[in-house]
Structure formats: C-alpha cells, structure tokens
C-alpha cells in the first residue's frame, strides 16, 4: 500500500504543478501573444498593461473606466485591418483631466475613441503616409503629416491648437500599433447631417409653400380684377344716375310751364 500511495502522490504532484504554473501565467501569456503577433488572443487587461508600460497609464485608466471603449479597441485589433492607438503620455492626460471630467459621458467616449485609427500603421508606413484617416468612432478624421522628420497628428482640418507629436513607438505589430504622443487630441464638434428623408421633406415643404403662394397670388389677381370690374360698374351707374337726374331736372321746368298756360 505504501508504494501505491507514493505513486499516487507522485502522479498528483505531476498534475498539480503544470496546472499551478498555468494559473499564474495569463499576464505573461498575453504579453507573449503580443510579441508573437497574435493580439486578437490578448485581453483588455493585457492591452491596459501594455499601454501603462509604454508610458500612458493614465490614458489606459480612462479607457478602462469607460464602458465599451476597451471592447472597441479589442475588436478592432482582431479585425483584418488592425488598430493604431495614439496614446497621450501621462503628463498630457494629467493636464487634460479637469476638462475631461467636465465633458458628458458620450463626449468622453468620443475623445478616447478619437485616438484610435481603423488600421494598424507600422512605424515605416506612418513615416510615409500624409493624409486624413478615419478614427475609431467612425465619424471623425485625424490628419497625419510630417514636420522636420517628426510625425504630427492633428484634427481635421489641421489646427495648431489641436495637434500632438509622436514621441515614441510603443508597439509595432501586424494587428496593433501604439505610439506615444505629447498631447490629448479633441474631436471637432459633429456637424448635423441631413438624411435623404430630411432633404425630401424640405423639398416637399418648399413645393407646398410655393403652390400655396402661387394660389394666393392668383386669388389676389382675380380679386383685383373683380374689384376693378365693380368700380367700373359703379362708375357707369353713377354716371348714368347723374345723367338721368340732369335730364329729369331739365324736363321738369318745361312741364311746369305748359301746365301754367
């Protein structure tokens, strides 16, 4: 029985050790996934850890506190195009926090998504491209340009008051590219869009107003013509009445003279 018990303990020991090691490995496994070009396997926690180690832990904290932002990043990483994140450094986020806290919840989410592009731009490609790119909110655009061999990202259209400079490459991967920037980018106020039905309604309303206006104009013209007709008839009646009265006045004295004789 003793040898049998020893064998059982040995087998249990062999099974427990790998399991315990595997339980302590998720963070390292996630980091290895990033290093091996397999970001779709990594979690939001691994992305947050990666951003924090890259110098933008404050930005990572904001992403973690806003529902849906981290998930949007993760889904884009797993897409065919990948994701580029322009991650503001901790000092830039610290300066922006008072303004960030004064924004509405939807606008805070828009600010965070504004720092992501719907494609993973490698460091080499980023040094060549110079154009507007769609951000992760699917509505706003970011302008990528270069100045003295430095990559500058700014709002669209470009504005010196809303731009940042790339200071460091954090990750350069097939599915994910992360670049440290020295300022927080702020999306522009969305312009109200007009759908087909809104434009159609406006056109119909203008047509109705035009028809009503034309009908009113025709009515006024007819009323004016009828008024002129009434005035002419009244004038003729007045003239006829005056002529009849004058004739009657001339005839009356003659009739009185005949009666006297």
Q: What is the pLDDT of residues 179-220, one digit of tens each?
A: 999 999 988 865 445 566 778 888 899 999 999 999 999 999
Q: What is the pLDDT of residues 67-121, one digit of tens each?
A: 889 999 989 998 889 999 999 999 999 999 999 999 999 999 999 999 999 999 9
Q: What are phi and psi of 40, to 5 degrees?
A: -60, -20
Tokens of 136: 């992760």
Supply the pTM of this predicted model.
0.59
pLDDT value for 112: 94
Q: What is the pLDDT of residues 127-178, one digit of tens each?
A: 888 888 889 988 888 999 988 888 999 887 767 678 999 999 999 988 899 9
Class of the CATH-defined domain 29-181 = mainly beta
Task: Report domain extents, the chain.
Answer: 29-181
Average pLDDT over residues 207-236: 90
- Lookup result for tokens 């005035």: 231
Q: Is the pLDDT of residue 3 over 50?
A: no
Residue/partner pairs of 72-80 with CB below 8 Å, 24 or more apart: 72/113, 72/116, 72/136, 73/44, 73/47, 73/116, 73/136, 74/42, 74/43, 74/44, 74/47, 76/116, 76/118, 76/136, 77/39, 77/40, 77/42, 77/47, 77/175, 77/176, 78/39, 78/40, 78/175, 79/118
């Amino acid at each position: 029985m003793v040898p049998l018990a020893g064998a059982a303990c040995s087998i249990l020991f062999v099974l427990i050790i790998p399991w315990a090691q595997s339980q302590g490995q998720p963070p390292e496994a996630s980091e290895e996934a990033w290093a091996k070009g397999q970001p779709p396997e990594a979690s939001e926690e691994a992305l947050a850890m990666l951003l924090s180690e890259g110098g933008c832990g404050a930005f990572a904290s904001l992403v973690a506190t806003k529902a849906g932002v981290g998930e949007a990043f993760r889904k884009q990483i797993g897409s065919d195009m990948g994701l580029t994140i322009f991650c503001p450094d901790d000092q830039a986020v610290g300066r922006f926090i008072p303004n960030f806290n004064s924004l509405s919840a939807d606008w805070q989410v828009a600010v965070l998504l504004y720092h992501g592009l719907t494609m993973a731009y490698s460091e080499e490609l980023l040094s060549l491209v110079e154009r507007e790119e769609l951000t992760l909110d699917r509505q706003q655009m970011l302008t990528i340009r270069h100045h003295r061999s430095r990559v500058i990202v700014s709002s669209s259209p470009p504005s010196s008051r809303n731009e940042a400079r790339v200071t460091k490459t954090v990750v350069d991967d097939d599915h994910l590219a992360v670049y440290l920037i020295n300022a927080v980018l702020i999306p522009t106020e969305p312009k109200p869009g007009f759908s087909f039905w809104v434009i159609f309604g406006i056109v119909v309303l203008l047509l109705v107003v035009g028809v009503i206006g034309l009908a009113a104009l025709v009515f006024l013209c007819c009323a004016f013509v009828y008024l002129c007709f009434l005035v002419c008839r009244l004038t003729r009646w007045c003239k006829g009445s005056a002529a009849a009265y004058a004739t009657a006045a001339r005839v009356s004295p003659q009739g009185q003279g005949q009666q006297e004789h």
